[in-house]
């Protein structure tokens, strides 16, 4: 599944699944713009000077439409096209519904749903003439409800409908843009560090690996790696999936069966 000659934009590329996707797309030949809230300064270790010439950091707050307009314009001005958009930016949240504040609800939806809406909207605009592929990150929590994480589950369920609606709209308007979602189960990423219970497990077991092992032992489900999710994303943005659009692909070891 080569992406030679393609131009890709990956959000949330600073860590976790987004970083794994950016690395894999670049390794398969795509000129890859790695977008995140912060980008390394030129004189920082691991900054742009030490990156391959086809990996380009770019700042993007996915909640802000002006940032999307600026980022898309930068890619188009420099490359003339965008063939692939992977929207991996997102946040996790866990609290009982009766204790969830309206501000917290809106914070989760602003990133997870509004950000995805803006990604798809501006991705379609950039690709509707020449064509391309958009993949966004959902979650099995949007398929199978998660108690204690209602805001997160609801935001990800909405992402699924957004993907299907947008894919159908592109199909009916004759836009050569494919839009799909991958929905992982538990994945070993830094996103867990935002969860108070996970920090408690790290303290109890002495490391993040110990915390993940404890959760696997308790729930009976194996955690995926970010690289495994990235492989599925690669398939959905490549020509190998050229007849696939509007799907939500669970990557969960059978959790949602």
The residues spanned by each domain of the chain are: 7-187+225-251, 189-223
Taking residues 127-146, what's their average pLDDT?
A: 95
pLDDT of the residue at 53: 65
- The single residue of 68, 152, 192, 212 carrying the catalytic annotation is 152
pLDDT of the residue at 219: 66
Q: What is the pLDDT of residues 203-249, one digit of tens each?
A: 777 777 777 777 767 666 777 889 999 999 999 999 999 999 999 99
State the burial class of residue 102 (Cβ atoms within 10 Å of its Cβ: 0-12, 13-18, 19+).
exposed
Prediction pTM value: 0.88
Residue 132 has pLDDT above 90, yes or no: yes
152 is catalytic: yes
Per DSSP, the residues of 156-192 read HHHHHHHHHHHHHHHHHHT--EEEEEEEESSB-SGGG
- The class level of CATH for 7-187+225-251 reads alpha beta
């Amino acid at each position: 599944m080569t992406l030679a000659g393609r131009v890709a934009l990956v959000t949330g590329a600073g860590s976790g699944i987004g970083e794994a996707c950016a690395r894999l797309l670049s390794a398969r030949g795509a000129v890859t713009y790695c977008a995140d809230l912060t980008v390394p300064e030129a004189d920082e270790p691991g900054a742009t000077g030490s990156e391959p010439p086809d990996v380009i950091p770019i700042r993007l707050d996915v909640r802000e439409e002006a940032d999307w307009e600026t980022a898309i314009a930068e890619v188009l001005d420099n490359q003339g096209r965008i063939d692939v958009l992977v929207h991996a930016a997102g946040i996790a949240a866990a609290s009982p519904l009766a204790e969830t504040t309206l501000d917290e609800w809106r914070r989760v939806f602003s990133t997870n749903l509004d950000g995805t809406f803006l990604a798809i909207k501006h991705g379609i605009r950039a690709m509707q003439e020449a064509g391309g592929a958009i993949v966004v990150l959902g979650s099995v929590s949007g398929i199978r409800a998660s108690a204690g994480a209602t805001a997160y589950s609801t935001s990800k369920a909405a992402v699924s409908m957004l993907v299907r609606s947008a894919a159908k709209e592109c199909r009916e308007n004759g836009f050569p843009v494919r839009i799909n979602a991958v929905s992982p189960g538990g994945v070993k990423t830094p996103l867990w560090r935002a969860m108070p219970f996970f920090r408690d497990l790290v303290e109890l077991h002495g490391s993040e690996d110990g915390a993940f092992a404890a959760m696997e032992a308790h729930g009976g489900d194996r955690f995926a790696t970010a690289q495994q999710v990235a492989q599925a994303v690669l398939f959905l943005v490549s020509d190998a999936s050229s007849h696939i659009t509007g799907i939500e692909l669970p990557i969960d070891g059978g959790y949602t069966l």
